[in-house]
Structure 1
């Protein structure tokens, strides 16, 4: 490959990287935005800022949203936003039980497997490294009791639709 063709190839690849968001994000320490829409890296944030301005929310707010298709083929679209003042004024101790239910590696694995389509205790028991059927039922009770799972009459478990995106947001936030 001659020099001119190599430079053209490098320019094409650099442009593709810039479009995909695989570059450091502007906006301050720790700011990241791995998904972009055209040239507007912060398209969701900018729309949220406009909404907050309309609400005259000087302290700002938090928004999380997602459009998800799970390995089991289910689709979820969901968003949730709260004003900063409301979040800071709330009783955070109420969240402790919910965090505790997810704060165990086997439970997180069970959640991932259920999203992937393994929906019965029998299917989950077949997995390596998740424990006995009694231990699995204990974990499922904890997750069901805190609303992370729902059980149907046929012994099938599912992540409620309103919990899919929050779960993925929490896992993503923990990675960062």
Structure 2
């Protein structure tokens, strides 16, 4: 029995997602074991202030994600989750960390990944790849991305930061584990 490349890609994405989810769960368990539990209300900033950004057709009782987050953890936490359809198939992702860990992030460690997508041409290339334009030649044909040399430079920057990877010579993909984080950053930037 032969397995198609589409089936292999889907299987690879599923395995990658499962490994990433297990990794995130392991980090959370390690943080719980080493950090102890703090009361979220005692350590929160402006604990009585809540800012809601809900769709127009929502009501205040639609805070199911926050309600579940509060039930699951005994200390402040940040998480994101989402689904997306891509050329390679559906992507589902969730990730979370304790707020205290995030507040103590080494800015120099995360800056390269953020810098890579802060450039409008690189962000344009990332979105084009997610939407199915995956070859260097087709990406170079996009409006406002510059010369093919400039496109290769931007692709190299995205690749070095881990936002894309080479599938084969001249063809790129955004790893499944990066799609929802990228869309989350875009969502946060729109607020």
The TM-score, its normalising length taken from structure 2, stands at 0.69
**Which aligned runs of 4 or more in structure 1 are off by greater than 4 angstroms?**
35-39
Aligned to 1:66: 82
Greater shift in the superposed pair: 93-102 or 162-171: 93-102
Work out whether 1:47 is the aligned partner of 2:61. no
- Computing the radius of gyration from Cα coordinates, the structure with the larger value is 1
* Unmatched segments (≥5 aa) in structure 2: 1-47
Q: Does the aligned pair in 2 maintain the 1:37–1:43 contact within 8 Å?
A: no
Does the 8 Å CA contact 2:137/2:170 hold for their aligned counterparts? Answer: no
Q: Please identify, of 85-94 and 42-51, the stretch whose mean Cα deviation from structure 2 is larger.
A: 85-94
Is 1:110 paired with 2:125? yes
Higher helix share: 2
Gaps of 5+ in 1: 1-26
Candidates 158, 161, 170, aligned match of 2:176: 161
Shift of 1:89: 2.4
CA distance in 1, matches of 2:186, 2:172: 20
Residue in structure 2 matching 1:94, options 88, 109, 127: 109
Give 1:134 deviation, angstroms. Answer: 0.2
User: What's the RMSD between the two structures over aligned residues?
Assistant: 2.1
Residue pairs, 1:6-155, within 5 angstroms:
28=49, 30-34=51-55, 40-53=61-74, 57=75, 60-70=76-86, 72=87, 74-155=89-170
**1:99 to partner: Cα distance:** 0.9
The count of aligned residue pairs is 144
Using the alignment, how far apart are the partners of 2:57 and 2:172 within structure 1? 34
